[in-house]
Amino acid sequence: MPTETLISIIDDDEDFREAVARLMKSWGFTVEAFASELAFLSSPNVRNTSCLIVDLHYPQMTGIELHRRLVESGYAIPTILISAHLDDSVRARALADGIICYLTKPCDEDALLGCISSALERAKPDEYRS
């Protein structure tokens, strides 16, 4: 289990983001939870997050939007989307945009762990580059 990997979570539901954070912590990750995108963007985490878990915010889909903006600004943080709704077209769009995983609530522990592993795999080359 990696220990020095920083994972950031953005979700406006306090109970949910704390639960994700606690679960990550039990897995041994270093986690930081944010209530809003703004809070995340104005934190130093933007620079050193290895994996971002963000609420899709259906139907505005600000999650995808955030990922795109981060990529455009040069922060290609591997991102996992969590949505309360399963929408295949949105899922396809998200994956085409380079999102690692599209999970629906309530999400399966193993699935989440698998997604995080792929995200961290993806994150490694970046670390070498920087």
> Can you give the binding site for other proteins, defined by CB under 8 A?
12-13, 15-16, 18-20, 22-23, 25-27, 35-36, 55, 57-60, 84-85, 105-107, 109
**In the complex with other proteins, which residue's Cβ is closer, 60 or 89?**
60
Based on its alpha-carbon atoms, the radius of gyration of the chain, rounded to whole angstroms, reads 13
| Nearest distance from C-beta of residue 4 to other proteins, angstroms | 19
Q: Which is nearer to other proteins, 86 or 126 (CB)?
A: 86
23 residue type, one letter: L
Amino acid code (one letter) for 44: P
**3-class SS string, 63-103:** HHHHHHHHHHCCCCCCEEEEECCCCHHHHHHHHHCCCCEEE
| Residue number with CB closer to other proteins (84 or 92) | 84
* CB of residue 86 to other proteins, shortest distance in Å: 11
Q: Are 35 and 55 in contact (CB under 8 A)?
A: no
Closer Cβ to other proteins, 36 or 43, answer by number: 36
